[in-house]
Chains A and B, each alone.
Chain A
């Protein structure tokens, strides 16, 4: 972030808030970068001569006579093959001790893909986790978050998904990541021998919160480079988007905007959509898939952050600790992948949709049976069977430590149907039943 000789230096700041400062300057473009006492800042408001800057590093200790220099350009990133295997901070500066990346400079937060140029996502992303592959199949070009309580092992599951996903590049965008979690990712990727296909942009909890606002744009600009210029399939991990949204609210509250629900800015939906909609299947084979984390407070998904996210993403995944089997499972009821229709029964075996639906339905019957039990009512013989089914279904399919291919998941499903139910109870189309119902053996 070098200062050039001919740049004018301003030294009269008129107003300072926690995240912004204002000064009088001329010839400034909206959205352009500046530095305030060496801290990176961006123009967020221009009223005549009065310019308001959002200071990414926070304004602690900024004096009214701080040196302010305008760069005449919006935030950029240098892209090139050399990004691979590297770790950067929110400004795109190396934090791994390696050299600066030489490459073409590109604006971050660039334009959207023309919808008519998008291709319909159609490639299945196999993760081996049946709670995902069987019930909530992921597809390249999709965007999907984990809605997780802060104590759930979402970072572990994300790392697992990332490594099994067979993506050409994995880009980790860490926002408010604890140092421990950052090191966890680094280790897991390293141990898997995958470092050369990983790129990380990280703002840890040690960094100032407003700085996080740059992280997704940095990561996605890098993702676009690999997906568009190199036609690669890129998986972007955004963790944790709740902390990103919190940073948005800090800035908008400083700008006197009227907050809407849960003190979030009224533009939260558009702000989040701008990021998530970068997920795309390009016509020439490249793709950007986004798997994100939105941490919940007290499991409340009606809070503005998860709520707006749910309206943007193509489904969501919930983790749950299943006390019956003592393992973490992918919750079959609340989780949903909206793009699964594009691949199940098409890229996977024909019985996939029916097996998936029947299993979830029978599992719902088990939930009803459990409610009865809790209310002190007697169970019918059918209720008993659903409970038996649900337990085995959890252990053999939903648990996140299951790692099998989709055909085996389907075979397991049929095996469990036959063990606990008769054919009409399963309610699957007759042709499928005839073909896949396990033949009776003695």
Chain B
């Protein structure tokens, strides 16, 4: 394959992981190269070329690299390897298989293969002789962890081809030829089950990318009900440290209704990734009963792993997501935290002494972020099937202040904003998504409104708006009470406030660690929302404001017990009855209300 002469070079400058190389031949931007450190080859990427000097970022510690160390350019950009067997794997940011590495500690230069080349897969042909095909078309399929995994015409193939032959149903390895295509000049081109793709380039073999319109259930009430995410949507979760970004993302990764989940642990804690390693092989996908790990791929570049590979890690994850989307699957991509990726860019641009933008981040940060988010989306494939990538990233703003470049750039591009509030986290009102500041632009899409009203209930969107309105009213009432004092306001203010507290405790708050409460299916969300609205619409009678708080606490308590019980179980129903009894205690019957007015 590698016939062309590869360029060599010698190291001239080393500043941490920025290395300058005097190249002896042509080099290209983003080309991968290897620095020889006493026999160990360290992977690096060209990030700037200046005359004969190639500036490279080394994906490893550069300890021991010397002036004059040999560098070998690879002729290609950073690529991922795509094929059956990507699922259930734990990769580093450059797609090296972490499980195959030797020893307890990571050793630089220990680059392991991303796929298992010996494993045999049961291949079934989908295309037949004579079919006209082009990049991304399905030629066959294998079953990967009970899921259909389409073998496609490699994305790198340009123009159209004719299928000369496809192998018969049988067992094949990823490197075996499974089809032979004829190009426009009737030349034979073999296709295997494996292909490579440069991570920085989007895979765009779809015909159309419509506005998303389908709800993506996450099982999290404050998202699904109030600020829904959609299939192919984008969102981000900014929040100060400890406010619950990671717990929320993990909850989404476990409960969301997706075929494939790709998790990029980008510059965060290793123990959090370990949690996934431990839990996912055990936990079941609530919808299919499959183990979560079967639908998941993890890209782990934790904070102590090489900084330069952090940037690569999110692209690696995105490219894997695009690969599965091209098979017509619903992919959920999560990255924690995109701020660490931005910081990695900042460290590099700093070392290169580039003119800094705000907070010393590179000038083109907004463009980099929006280009990345724009790779997500719902698509129609050429064969009429659909696929999607829903992307949710976390953002870790310095000092918890949302007026900083990463948050602001992301806000311009992501359509859902799940702002975690320090105050809610401090009072343990989890998930700490601020119900008033947060938004989902999608709920304004008529396409989604129709979808919700058709699939949940005809007046669903109205109800959601109503609930949002009550939350704002509750907040206003609370402010008045704080200013004027408990007895300085009419009792009604207390009632308004406590009714919004019912919404908060029953709909917004959800215990991510409770077996039952952790995930709430849509039909249950609807049931509970209706119940809460019933309470809201009920008139209650109180003699003084002092009665309001204890009464609503009782109501909240019964509701919470319901949230903790299996839906429609005996226990659930018992608490529901109890709730009705409590409501009766103070409910003003309609006639009664009329009488009183007279």
Contacts and interface: CB of A to CB of B under 8 A. Distances in A.
B400 A113 contact: no
Contacts of A266: 343, 346-347, 350, 360
A26 B426 contact: no
B360 A46 contact: no
A269 interface: yes
B343 A30 contact: no
A336 interface: yes
B128 interface: no
A196 B261 CA distance: 50
A360 interface: yes
Interface stretch (B71-79, B185-193, B201-209, B547-555): B547-555
A85 interface: no
Given A30-B63, A30-B65, A361-B428, A258 B106 contact: no
B374 to A, nearest CB: 27
A357 interface: yes
A283 B271 contact: no
B104 A378 contact: no
A435 interface: no
Contacts of B275: 120
Interface of A: 26-32, 44-49, 74, 110-121, 141-142, 228, 257-261, 266-267, 269-270, 273-274, 277-278, 280, 282-283, 302-304, 307, 310-312, 314-316, 333-334, 336, 338-339, 341, 353, 357, 360-361, 364, 372, 375-378, 380-382, 424-425, 427, 429-430
A115 B273 contact: yes
Given A45-B14, A113-B270, A378-B485, A26 B242 contact: no
Contact of A113 (B67, B104, B343, B399): B104
A361 B12 CA distance: 61
Contacts of A282: 104
Contacts of B303: 269-270, 273-274, 277, 312
A268 to B, nearest CB: 9
Nearest to B12: A48
Contacts of B145: none
Interface residues of B, number: 74
A429 B98 contact: no
B107 interface: yes
A115 B98 contact: yes
Interface in B37-78: 61-68
Contact of B486 (A115, A118, A258, A377): A377
A360 B428 CA distance: 9
A259 to B, nearest CB: 8
A260 B64 contact: no
B343 A270 contact: yes
A315 B274 CA distance: 17
A26 B67 contact: yes
Given A115-B277, A381-B546, A382-B549, A338 B242 contact: yes
Contact of B399 (A274, A302, A361): A302
12 contacts: A26-B67, A27-B68, A46-B14, A112-B305, A116-B99, A257-B350, A260-B346, A266-B346, A266-B360, A302-B400, A361-B427, A427-B557
A32 B242 contact: no
A258 B360 contact: yes
A257 B571 CA distance: 63
B12 A74 contact: no
Interface of B: 12-16, 61-68, 90, 98-99, 101, 103-108, 240-242, 267, 269-271, 273-275, 277-278, 300, 302-305, 307, 340, 343-344, 346-347, 350-351, 356, 359-360, 396, 398-401, 426-428, 482, 485-487, 513, 546, 549-550, 553-554, 556-557, 560-561, 564
Contacts of A274: 303-304
Given A120-B275, A338-B242, A28 B67 contact: yes
Contacts of B63: 29-32, 74
Contacts of A361: 427-428
A425 B119 CA distance: 59
A121 B273 CA distance: 12
B486 A114 contact: no
B302 A277 contact: yes
A406 to B, nearest CB: 18
Contacts of B553: 424-425, 427
Contacts, number: 200
A116 B347 contact: no
Closest 10 CB pairs of A and B: A302-B399, A273-B303, A277-B304, A310-B241, A31-B63, A377-B485, A112-B304, A46-B14, A30-B14, A116-B98
A427 B501 CA distance: 14
A274 B61 CA distance: 12
Contact of A228 (B99, B104, B399): B104
Contact of A429 (B12, B340, B564): B564
Which among A74, A267, A314, A364 has the highest number of chain B CB atoms within 10 Å?
A267
A141 B399 CA distance: 26
A118 to B, nearest CB: 5
A435 B103 CA distance: 48
Contacts of B344: 270
Given A30-B64, A307-B398, 10 more contacts: A31-B62, A44-B16, A111-B105, A111-B108, A112-B105, A115-B90, A115-B274, A141-B271, A274-B304, A378-B486
B265 to A, nearest CB: 8
B416 to A, nearest CB: 23
A46 B269 contact: no
Nearest to A426: B557
A378 B61 CA distance: 63
A205 B65 CA distance: 34
A170 B255 CA distance: 41
A145 to B, nearest CB: 12
Contacts of B351: 257
B425 to A, nearest CB: 9
Nearest to B555: A424
Contact of B104 (A114, A307, A427): A114
A142 B305 CA distance: 18
Contact of A277 (B270, B343, B399): B270
Contact of A110 (B15, B90, B105, B267): B105
Contact of A118 (B64, B270, B564): B270
Contacts of B307: 267, 270
B464 to A, nearest CB: 27
Contacts of A44: 15-16
Contacts of B66: 27-30, 46
Contact of A117 (B62, B104, B356, B398): B104
Given A302-B399, A380-B546, A49 B347 contact: no
A332 to B, nearest CB: 10
A338 B346 CA distance: 29
Contact of B101 (A31, A114, A334, A382): A114
Contacts of A142: 271
Contacts of A304: 398-399
B93 to A, nearest CB: 12
Given A28-B66, A48-B12, A121 B104 contact: no
B14 A280 contact: no
A324 B168 CA distance: 81
Contacts of B271: 118, 120-121, 141-142, 314, 339
A234 to B, nearest CB: 15
B270 A427 contact: no
B399 A307 contact: yes
